[in-house]
Amino acid sequence: MTIHSDQGIQYQSNPYRHALRKHKVFQSMSRRATCHDNAAMESFFHIMKVEMNYFTHHFDTKKQLVKAMKEWIGYYNEDRIRHKLKGLTPIQYRNQALSKMI
């Protein structure tokens, strides 16, 4: 598994890097002063936070937050129609692209 981030101090800390190594996660970082490397994921997380009311809703437990995130990601991939994907959901678009390859 790979996790990609910017070069924020929290991602460079020894405890964080040790935790990644412990769980056999490869760390990838954007190049310095190159915000475009991670633009797609930054956009995704912004959409998730806005649509989940992250800025105004309080989750009482980590379990509640994780459950809400999993539900939203399911919605995003399976039900959320995207104009950029020709009116399809991400899953439909991927399946259509894969079927053309076969």
Question: What would the pLDDT profile of 21-58 be if each residue is shown by its tens digit?
Answer: 999 998 887 777 666 767 887 888 899 999 998 878 89
Domain boundaries, the chain: 1-33, 47-102
What Cα–Cα distance (Å) separates residue 94 from each residue in 29, 64, 85? 26, 29, 9
How much is the pTM?
Answer: 0.65
Given this model, what pLDDT does residue 83 score?
94
Q: Compute the distance between CA of residue 67 and CA of residue 87 in angstroms, rounded to an integer.
A: 27
